């Protein structure tokens, strides 16, 4: 006869076994059964009132890592597929009927919005991306200028097999090397949507057609690369509606004001010599602005401090012999920066969208005055703001040479 103790021990063992085998598998999915979505796009569907969701799903077996795989170089390592629904979530669920692998969102890097759709407002679309647990808030919002998101997702790069990877690299380079791209992620976007006196921006992307007759040996043997993606500035939103675009210099103007310029090239005309240019490489930059109210008229003072190196020079230059040239170059650099800032402001005022957050800053500095005087009529007020620009431009070094090569005859 088994004793009470033995029964108890047996029961414990049984419970342990049941717990171990039956408990889990909640949320469990083998990695090869998951469809990793790397980018998603939203457009209007053909049917009235529906949303078209386009996703780019990775095909891991076509990537071809270190070992022999089933894929070949010609095979696209991704699959672009669309589905529709009245809400994003419905469209996502409808994907299940097309994708044998369960869509998985945590690796999604981009939400692309087609221009036509974006002009009608995107808040209702962003809700699902915000609400769903798999999604990350560090997703870039990209607006496709003059294109549908589904088209943008079908572009490819010559040097990168996985387009979202390529786009990530482009974006990183554009942020850190050029500073000519709007860089709001989902998190910033949503915060700015909610904030007072500030409007969101998004990354502006365009499709550039590839030259078809391109016959250089060593080119990828894939059939055709229809188009490629290029990042060309920022998309301006008023609340959640797309209202216009900033081109690259304007975008850098925006980045000067908000202090996001990291590097980039400033081209100035060479002092004293028409038609020759000097390229300056931005080393460090600081930007800030300060709104002030005088007699209920708002003035914003933008302060930019920038340091640069001389990157390249056309024509002859001897910096030791002509110190006044140095000062003159700094002045021209300051002018370029000021122009970019003013261009950005002018465009924003024209579009009626306070992307810089002048209003928000005003609110922060003087909430009472903001509430009393400006909150309700900020849209009109913003268009009349007077913006002063103060630029401190410094040139630091001139590369490995002080004096250019002189051609003696």
Partner 1 sequence: MLGMLWRLLSRRIERTQGSAQAETGSVEGRISSRLPVNRERIKAAFGNSADLVFRDLQTGAQGKISALVVHIDGLVDKRQVAEAVIEQITDMGLKWDSPRQAYADLKARLLSASGVEEVDSLDKFITHVAGGHSGVLIDGIGKGLVCDTRGWEQRGIDEPTTEATVRGSKEGFVETLRTNTSLLRRRIMGSQLRIEEMRIGRITKTRVAIAYIAGVANHETVQEVRNRLRRIDADAIHESGNIEEYIEDAPFSPFPTILRTERPDKVTGALLEGRIAILTDGTPFVLIVPATFTMFLTSTEDYYERYFIGSVLRLLRVAAFFISLTLPSLYVAVTTFHQEMLPTPLVLSIAAQREGIPFPAVVEALLMEFVFETLREAGVRLPRVVGQAVSIIGALVIGDAAIRAGLASPAMVMVVAFTGIASFATPVFSLAIGVRLLRFLMTVLAGVLGLFGIVAGMFALLIHLTCLRSFGVPFLEPLAPIVFSDLKDALLRAPWWALRTRPQFTGKKAPTRQAPGLRPRPPSAEEKEVHHLVGKEGGK
Footprint on this chain of partner 1 (rule: CB under 8 A): 3, 5-6, 8-9, 12-13, 20-21, 23-25, 27-32, 34, 36, 38, 58, 60-61, 63-67, 69-70, 104, 106-107, 109, 134, 136, 162, 165
Cβ–Cβ < 8 Å for 56, 40 = yes
CB nearer partner 1, residue 119 or residue 136: 136
Cβ–Cβ < 8 Å for 210, 227 = yes
Cβ–Cβ < 8 Å for 262, 175 = yes
Cβ–Cβ < 8 Å for 112, 77 = no
SS3 328: helix
CB nearer partner 1, residue 162 or residue 306: 162
CB nearer partner 1, residue 79 or residue 326: 79
Residue 386 C-beta: closest distance to partner 1, Å? 47
Cβ–Cβ < 8 Å for 37, 103 = yes
CB nearer partner 1, residue 157 or residue 356: 157
CB nearer partner 1, residue 29 or residue 331: 29
SS3 306: strand
SS3 231: strand
Residue 111 C-beta: closest distance to partner 1, Å? 16
The DSSP symbol for 318 reads B
Residue 236 C-beta: closest distance to partner 1, Å? 30
| Torsion over CA: 188, 150, 89, 23 (sign) | negative
Token output for 60: 């891991």
Residue 168 C-beta: closest distance to partner 1, Å? 9
Distances (CA, A) of 143 to 182, 228, 238, 244, 345: 10, 15, 14, 11, 20
Give the C-alpha separation, 234 to 203, whole Å.
Answer: 5
Cβ–Cβ < 8 Å for 195, 357 = yes
Cβ–Cβ < 8 Å for 276, 315 = yes
Main-chain phi, psi angles of 130, to 5 degrees: -75, -35
Strands, DSSP E only, in 65-187?
Answer: 78-85, 102-104, 110-114, 140-144
The DSSP symbol for 212 reads S
Residue 225 C-beta: closest distance to partner 1, Å? 21
Residue 20 host element (H or E) = helix 4-22
Of 60, 53, 63, 71, whose CA–CA distance to 32 is shortest?
60
Residue 311 C-beta: closest distance to partner 1, Å? 33
Of 115, 234, 225, 113, whose CA–CA distance to 171 is shortest?
234
CB nearer partner 1, residue 61 or residue 214: 61
Residue 6 C-beta: closest distance to partner 1, Å? 6
Residue 67 C-beta: closest distance to partner 1, Å? 6
Residue 165 C-beta: closest distance to partner 1, Å? 7
Main-chain phi, psi angles of 142, to 5 degrees: -120, 130
CB nearer partner 1, residue 32 or residue 215: 32
CB nearer partner 1, residue 9 or residue 401: 9
Residue 16 C-beta: closest distance to partner 1, Å? 8
CB nearer partner 1, residue 6 or residue 267: 6
CB nearer partner 1, residue 96 or residue 316: 96
């Amino acid at each position: 006869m088994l004793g009470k103790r033995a029964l108890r021990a047996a029961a414990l063992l049984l419970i342990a076994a049941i717990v171990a085998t039956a408990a889990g598998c909640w949320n469990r999915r083998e990695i090869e059964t998951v469809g990793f979505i790397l980018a998603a796009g939203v457009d209007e569907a053909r049917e009235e009132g529906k949303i078209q969701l386009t996703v780019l799903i990775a095909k891991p077996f076509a990537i071809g890592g270190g070992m022999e795989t089933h894929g070949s170089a010609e095979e696209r390592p991704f699959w672009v597929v669309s589905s529709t629904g009245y809400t994003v979530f419905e469209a996502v669920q409808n994907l299940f009927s097309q994708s044998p692998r369960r869509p998985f969102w945590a690796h999604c890097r981009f939400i692309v919005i087609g221009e036509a759709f974006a002009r009608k407002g995107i808040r209702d679309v962003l809700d699902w991306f915000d609400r769903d647990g798999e999604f990350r808030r560090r997703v870039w919002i990209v607006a496709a200028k003059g294109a549908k998101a589904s088209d943008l997702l079908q572009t490819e790069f010559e040097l990168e097999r996985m387009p979202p990877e390529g786009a990530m690299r482009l974006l990183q380079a554009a942020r850190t090397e050029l500073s000519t791209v709007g860089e709001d992620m989902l998190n910033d976007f949503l915060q700015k949507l909610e904030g007072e006196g500030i409007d969101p921006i998004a990354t502006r992307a365009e499709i550039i057609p590839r030259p078809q007759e391109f016959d250089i040996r060593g080119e990828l043997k894939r059939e055709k690369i229809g188009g490629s993606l290029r990042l060309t500035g920022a998309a301006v939103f008023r609340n959640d509606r797309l209202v216009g675009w900033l081109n690259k210099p304007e975008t850098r103007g925006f980045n000067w004001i908000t202090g996001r310029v990291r590097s980039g090239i400033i081209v100035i005309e060479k002092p004293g010599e028409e038609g020759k240019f000097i390229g300056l490489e931005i080393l460090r930059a600081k930007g800030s602005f300060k709104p002030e109210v005088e007699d209920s008229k708002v003035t914003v003072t933008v302060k930019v401090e920038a340091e640069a190196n001389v990157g390249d020079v056309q024509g002859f230059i001897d910096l030791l012999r002509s110190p006044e040239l140095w000062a003159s170059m700094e002045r021209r650099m300051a002018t370029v920066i000021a122009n970019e800032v003013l261009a950005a402001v002018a465009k924003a005022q024209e579009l009626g969208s306070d992307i810089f957050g002048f209003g928000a800053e005003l609110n922060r500095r003087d909430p009472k005055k903001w509430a009393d005087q400006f909150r309700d009529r900020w849209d009109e007020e913003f268009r009349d703001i007077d913006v002063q620009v103060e630029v401190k431009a410094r040139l630091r070094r001139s590369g490995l040479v002080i004096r250019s090569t002189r051609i003696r005859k």
